[in-house]
Amino acid sequence: MSGDQGEKANKQTSGGEQVVTPWDVQADEGVDYDKLIVQFGSSKIDDDLVKRMERVTGQKVHHWLRKEIFFSHRDLGEMLDLYEAGKPFYLYTGRGPSSGSLHFGHLVPFVFTKWLQDAFNAPLVIQLTDDEKFLWKDLTLEEANMLAYENAKDIIAVGFDPKKTFIFSDVDYIGHMYPNILGIQKKVTLNQVRGIFGMNDSANIGQFSFPAIQAAPSFSSSFPIPLRGDDDIPCLIPCAIDQDPYFRMTRDVAPKLGFRKPALIHSKFFPALQGAQTKMSASDATSSIYLTDTAEQIRHKIKHYAVSGGGDTAEEQAANGANLEKDIPYQWLRFFLDDDAKLDQVAEEYGAGRMMTQEVKDMLGDVLIGIVAKFQADRAKVSDDVVKEFMSVRPLEF
Amino acid sequence: MAEGYPEAEAKPKAKKPRPLPPPPPPALATASLLVRGAAARVLGLSPGPCGGELQPIWVTEPGCSKITMSFEGTSREPFPKEDAHNALLIALEAETNRLAAGGRIAVFEMDKADAEKKYGEDIYEPKSQRPDRLRLAHLPGAALVEIPNNWSLCASTSDCGKIEFLAREVEAGSKKKPDTMIMAKKKQVFVKFSVGNPDAPAADIGGEMPSEDEAKALTDKSVRVEVLGVDVKDEAKEEPASKAAKSVTEEVKAEGEMVVDPWSVKGKIDYEKLIRDFGSTKISDDLLERIRKITVGSGRVSDLHCWLRRNIFFSHRELDAICALQEKGKPFYLYTGRGPSSAAMHLGHLLPFMFTQWLQKAFDVPLVIQMTDDEKFLWKGEYDPEKGDNLHVYKRFTIENAKDIIACGFDKKKTFIFSDLEYVGHMYPNIVRVWKAITYNTARGAFGFVGESNIGQSAFPAVQAVPSFPSSFNVPFKGDQHLPCLIPCAIDQDPYFRVTRDIAHKLVPKDHPLKGKPSLIHCKFFPPLTGAEGKMAASDENSAIFLTDTPEDIEKKITKYAFSGGRQTAKEQREKGADLDADVSYQWLRFFLDDDAELQKIEEQYGSGQGEDYWSAGQVKKKLIEVLKQMVKKHQEIRASITDEEVAEWMKVRELDF
């Protein structure tokens, strides 16, 4: 699973059409998400579905659902039907280990997955694709495997329930999934992989076979011990919309193996600090804010790099107000400020020019610093023993 | 430092497309594409990616140019040594002129996307700018490649006249390099050439676009020209060069279509040619003597195995290095395997295990046996909507086959049998390493995958490769990372391990005695009952003696189906004797009759039709029946005593004793 999921930026295209694939996102004027739903053939998460989730879980939905940040799905309705009929589902997400620490873009799918886990009392499996990183990047397998364990600490710090969460490294766990991997591999041709994932002929043969390894956790029989031998538990995958093609392949293959198709719930892209039009780079420390950044670094990055939609001068801002669509501090607040009333107020005041860019940036700084402080405190508590517990092959409680 | 160039500093990205170099005269441009097409066929390349940078020698030497091509990714592996380069260049020149008879040239333009979709990316040379609108040239039989927009070609491939390669040699003592040469280190071929008709006119754009299939045939990277002195024995060195090149397709037809790869063996097998094609080494008498000293000399066995004495194991890779280590008292391990495609194993399946058992005993070494249940599922597995897939069936076959294997008499303390399905987790780190080291292109070339192959099939070679590396067996080998590996296998399995050997250094510590390369010892094919061509298949009941056959089955099959090289009538047999090469009963006795004197007697009497005991087919069949009945009976008795629990002990991940 791409480590950059949840944060893809847009490149200018000359043709005017938008291209969204797991390895490339191109769109002229920002991604047209409604068009994407049509293009991908997924379904919009509408008010009825949101209301239904609230009814089923007996609680308000996560604000990202209300704000349509998680906006599209496949078979989520059926998942709720089954849930109501007493058939629980499990959640599957993942991360490609990397040397960098988590940034806010990484946090989005995990925070949302945690909410799903709590709301639906669902078991969760988290795949750390150390094998993938080794196959694609210039690092040793030992390094990739070690990073998986390091990254697990970050993930655990998001607050998952140890009784319900199984985190695994592919290198360590592959033997358990191998029968399903073989079944999937058998149903997918080299041509299909080339078509879906854009592999060329100089790609290595591991890259060609990897899609099966990413697909296997979508089927509960890959977890005979954690899911306690129930090979018919439906799977729900929260992911950024650009990851959809991976799981479309999985969904195509599922009936050929006698398995249920995994359901999906898609998020929009998390914009880079420099704006939705710039290419996000994990190696460019200025395009992201890390959960290891100090308060000074956070304020500095927001001040210097966050693209503003406000007027160039105080006068202009007062006269015309801010372009909220373009304004990264406001867009980031939509993600991380959980107070709807306060956010509405910012939109109102800032959009009308009664609030200055600096005030919004300060507000974002406060919010992020608060999140980072809590995260760092939580992460400090994650010992090697805790990691071991999350990563040991054991029956989950659900 | 960049002060003088503020513009360049400020706008590094505003790159203007570089102007194209002046175009070559049409005759030279045409000839250069023919050279590329020929190079592709002779050296196992694709005419696009091999490139074809031209030097504008025509400015000072009209009618001449020099082309530089890359043979990166050649399917000639290993690439012939320097002493063969001249033969390659001779063949290349001959093939270039042969291709010049190809016919009408088509030059047409196409949108990049359409062209790539239709013809793939092999149309490009490595330095191509890949503009949105491409100009493509098709020279029938030779090449379909993108050409610069300012190039023109002749109307027909023959218009440029005879193409001659120039300056192949330099004067003795000169430090200059020849203009026409192969540079193995840089993987480049340089050809300075002249054309007979340098002023041939340019033709207008036009002509017919080739079909996808035509284009595909041109980018097939196999070696399509056999080179005299490299691929075939040079029996007539004085033959003119133009006869040196011979199309492989014609040759194959003439030879009865010998095909040997891990999935099929067809035609009459020429083992000498296989050794040449595969680049392995014949097992020499000297090597046999060394093996004898190590094994018989230790007293562990009384004689060399008859399959070594009779050249049934006939070829190897680095077996001499294994011997050298043994002579210093250093250990190695054996690796063999089986694809459990059915519960019924036949004699042909047992051969490698019988020989491996001898090797284990003779060298007193540990052994790992891989059961590729995953492979069999990927190639033959089925899915039933009611019952699901049949992966479990192959698991069962693994257990059943393991019983037959164990019955061969291995040393339990030194033998680890494993199923891929069960053991893959232990090998996965090495599998991923091998995956990373093998490109799709390499796998396709070595194993013949096509786009419709499933991704498990293309991933599988790594699973079969990793048992060659000791770190795949950390528990059985107690963490020894330096143990070299010897693989006994039928010669058709060699392509798998050639790729393994190529990447082996990435999987072991630097001071591994063989740099990680597994050593190999190859056997000939065991002929099916019905005739000596090809190898035995489990699918045809009558072509094989199964390990479950009753004495009556054996008698009936041999009597009825064993292909006979004997004559039609007793009179004729007495006069002419039998054709021993074609006679399956005799061939099988070579495998299973350990008594050299007896075998020689059969050979003499049956081959000549003279003598008393073995002059006729009936007598020889009778002997074979007797030998097989005894062998199969003994096998069945041992196998009957092997329980599932016993199998589990052999398959337990445990430390081996060595």
- The DSSP code sequence of B450-517 is -TTSBHHHHHHHHHHHGGGSGGGGTTTTTT-S---EEEEEEGGGHHHHHHHHHHGGGGS-TT-TTTTP
Going by pLDDT thresholds of 50, 70 and 90, the confidence category of residue A361 is: very high
pLDDT attached to residue B233: 61
Going by pLDDT thresholds of 50, 70 and 90, the confidence category of residue A145 is: very high
Determine which of B21-30, B118-127, B526-535, B565-574 has the lowest per-residue pLDDT on average: B526-535
**Residue A218: count of CB within 10 angstroms of its CB:** 28
Q: Structure tokens of B379?
A: 């190639």
Separation between Cα atoms, residue A397 and residue A392, nearest integer Å: 14
pLDDT attached to residue B446: 79
β A90-95/A124-128 pair status: parallel
Q: Does A13 touch chain B (CB under 8 A)?
A: no
Integer Rg of chain A from CA: 21
User: pLDDT tens across B65-79, in order?
Assistant: 999 999 988 888 888
Q: Structure tokens of A235?
A: 């799977």
Q: Which residues pair with B54 in a beta bridge?
A: B67
pLDDT attached to residue A284: 63
Decide if B535 contacts B525 (C-beta within 8 A). yes
Higher pLDDT, A216 or B1: A216
Decide if A282 contacts A99 (C-beta within 8 A). no
Position B10 pLDDT exceeds 70 = no
pLDDT attached to residue B316: 97
CA angle A105, A106, A111 (to 5 degrees): 100
Backbone conformation region of residue A6, classed left if phi is above 0, alpha if psi is from -120 to 50, else beta: left
User: pLDDT tens across B337-354, in order?
Assistant: 999 988 889 998 999 999
pLDDT attached to residue B639: 96
User: pLDDT tens across A203-223, in order?
Assistant: 999 999 999 999 999 999 999
Residue B206 backbone dihedrals phi, psi, to 5 degrees: 155, -175
Going by pLDDT thresholds of 50, 70 and 90, the confidence category of residue A6 is: very low
Separation between Cα atoms, residue B426 and residue B653, nearest integer Å: 10
Q: How far is B111 from chain A (nearest CA, A)?
A: 15
Position B295 pLDDT exceeds 50 = yes
Contacts of A286 (CB under 8 A, 6+ apart): A273, A274, A301, A304, A305
pLDDT attached to residue B544: 87
Compute the residue count for chain A: 398
- Which of A172, A202, A206 is the closest to B459 by Cβ? A206
pLDDT attached to residue A8: 42
Q: Structure tokens of B91?
A: 């063949």
Separation between Cα atoms, residue B403 and residue B423, nearest integer Å: 18
Position A77 pLDDT exceeds 70 = yes
Determine which of A35-44, A276-285, B262-271, B517-526 has the lowest per-residue pLDDT on average: A276-285
On whether the pTM is more than 0.90, the answer is no
Contacts of A242 (CB under 8 A, 6+ apart): A5, A8, A20, A21, A22, A25, A269
Q: Which domains does chain B have, with CATH numbers?
A: 26-255 (no CATH), 265-529 (3.40.50.620), 541-640 (1.10.240.10)
Separation between Cα atoms, residue B644 and residue B398, nearest integer Å: 11
Separation between Cα atoms, residue A160 and residue A115, nearest integer Å: 9
Q: Is residue B482 exposed (0-12), middle (13-18) or buried (19+ Cβ within 10 Å)? A: middle
Position B554 pLDDT exceeds 90 = yes
Residue type, B432: V
pLDDT attached to residue B81: 86
Contacts of B564 (CB under 8 A, 6+ apart): B578, B583, B584, B585, B617, B621
- Which of B389, B433, B440 is the closest to A208 by Cβ? B440
Position B457 pLDDT exceeds 60 = yes
Q: What is the mean pLDDT of residues B304-314?
A: 96
What is the three-class DSSP state of A118? helix
What is the three-class DSSP state of B62? coil
Mean pLDDT of chain B: 87
What is the three-class DSSP state of B353? helix
Separation between Cα atoms, residue B156 and residue A133, nearest integer Å: 51
pLDDT attached to residue B358: 98
Q: How far is B539 from chain A (nearest CA, A)?
A: 22
* Pick from A223, A210, A173, A209: nearest CA to A395: A223
Separation between Cα atoms, residue A371 and residue A107, nearest integer Å: 11
Q: Structure tokens of B3?
A: 């002060």
Q: How far is A328 from chain B (nearest CA, A)?
A: 26
Residues of B with CB below 8 A from A191's CB?
451-452
Q: How far is A91 from chain B (nearest CA, A)?
A: 24
Residue B317 backbone dihedrals phi, psi, to 5 degrees: -130, 120
pLDDT attached to residue B251: 38
Q: Structure tokens of B78?
A: 């290993």
Position A23 pLDDT exceeds 50 = yes
Residue of B nearest to A129 (CA): B432
User: pLDDT tens across A151-187, in order?
Assistant: 999 999 999 999 999 999 999 999 999 999 999 999 9
* Pick from B154, B119, B126, B128: nearest CA to B139: B154
Which stretch of DSSP H or E encloses residue A285? Answer: none
Q: How many helices (H) and strands (E) are present in chain A, helices listed first?
A: 17, 9
Residue type, A277: Q
Q: How far is B435 from chain A (nearest CA, A)?
A: 4
Separation between Cα atoms, residue A122 and residue A129, nearest integer Å: 22
Q: Does A204 touch chain B (CB under 8 A)?
A: yes
Q: How far is B428 from chain A (nearest CA, A)?
A: 6
pLDDT attached to residue B283: 97
Which residues 210-229 of A have a C-beta within 8 angstroms of B?
211-212
Residue of B nearest to A204 (CA): B439
**Residue B350: count of CB within 10 angstroms of its CB:** 22
Q: Does A162 touch chain B (CB under 8 A)?
A: no
Contacts of A104 (CB under 8 A, 6+ apart): A270, A288, A289, A291, A332, A335, A336, A368
Separation between Cα atoms, residue A304 and residue B86, nearest integer Å: 65
pLDDT attached to residue B301: 96
Q: Which domains does chain A have, with CATH numbers?
A: 3-272 (3.40.50.620), 285-379 (1.10.240.10)
pLDDT attached to residue B159: 87
For tokens 């190859």, what's the residue?
B522
Residue from B112, B441, B455 whose CB has the most chain A CBs within 10 Å, to mutate: B455
Position B52 pLDDT exceeds 90 = no
Cis peptide before B78 (omega within 30 of 0): yes
β A43-44/A70-74 pair status: antiparallel
* Pick from B367, B346, B518: nearest CA to B430: B518
Separation between Cα atoms, residue B422 and residue B433, nearest integer Å: 20
For residue A9, what are the CA distances in angstroms to B2, B468, B570? 33, 45, 87
Q: Does A318 touch chain B (CB under 8 A)?
A: no
Mean pLDDT of chain A: 90
DSSP B396-462: HHHHHHHHHHHTTT--GGGEEEEEHHHHHHHHHHHHHHHHHHSBHHHHHHHH---TTSBHHHHHHHH
Separation between Cα atoms, residue A310 and residue A308, nearest integer Å: 5
Q: Structure tokens of A153?
A: 């600490």
Residue of A nearest to B390 (CA): A183
Decide if B116 contacts A201 (C-beta within 8 A). no
β B415-419/A263-267 pair status: unpaired
Helix, strand, coil abundance in chain B, percent, nearest 5: 45, 15, 40
Residues of B with CB below 8 A from A188's CB?
454-455
Residues of A with CB below 8 A from B456's CB?
181-182, 185-186, 209, 212
Q: Which residues pair with B107 in a beta bridge?
A: B137, B206
The ipTM is 0.89
Residues from B in contact with A at Cβ < 8 Å: 121, 374, 377-378, 381, 383, 385, 388-389, 391, 420-426, 428-429, 432-433, 435-441, 443-444, 449-459, 461-462
